[in-house]
Amino acid sequence: MTFESIQTSATEVHGGGAGSEVELVSLSGSAVVQVVRGDARDADAMVADLHAARVVVTDRRILATEGDIEWSWLASDLEAFIHGAQDPWTVFVVPGIADFGVTVPADRVDEFRSALATFASVENRLQAKSAQVNQTEAIT
């Protein structure tokens, strides 16, 4: 994960040519999040918004930008994605850090997670559901 201040374009990142990144999805109305209590994999984990952001997934990284602030997670650094079981957040696991990620608009979660699935070497995990949710599902 890197935290830097650079600009990106709508369809290609860092210019044209063979070395260009290809944008897979761009999501306004998103936010950078942090795990503030527990482990993101556990049902009782608490994940909080840090600040609003536009999230862009390219074939090489995930960017979250707001003004001059940019968070960047390189595909080559990513070990796992932990997806919220009932919420639209995803935490990005990089070596030694499993606390930060993004949340996206609920109506675009499937599109976002499909773009993340193109990172073939990154494990996808789902947060454990709470016992209360599991009991409710068993009743219905």
Q: Which of the residue ranges 8-17, 22-31, 37-46, 80-89 would you say has the lowest mean pLDDT?
A: 8-17
Has residue 11 got a pLDDT over 60?
A: no
Nearest to 96 by CA among 32, 1, 4, 9: 1
Domain that holds residue 114: 2-8+22-139
Provide the pLDDT for residue 132.
Answer: 54
Q: What percent of the chain is modeled with pLDDT above 90?
A: 76
Q: What is the DSSP letter of 72?
A: E
pLDDT at 118: 95
- Radius of gyration in angstroms for the set of CA atoms belonging to the chain, rounded to a whole number: 15
For the chain, percent helix, then strand, then coil, each to nearest 5?
15, 45, 40
Number of structural domains in the chain: 1
Binned at pLDDT 50, 70 and 90, residue 18 comes out as: low
CB 94 within 8 A of CB 105: no
Percent of the chain scored above 70 by pLDDT?
Answer: 80
pTM of the model: 0.80
The CATH number of residue 101's host domain is 2.30.29.30
The tens digit of pLDDT for each residue in 94-109 reads: 999 999 999 999 999 9
Structure tokens of 23?
A: 């944008």
Q: Which two tokens stand for residue 43?
A: 């049902």
Q: Kindly state whether residue 15 falls inside one of the protein's structural domains.
A: no
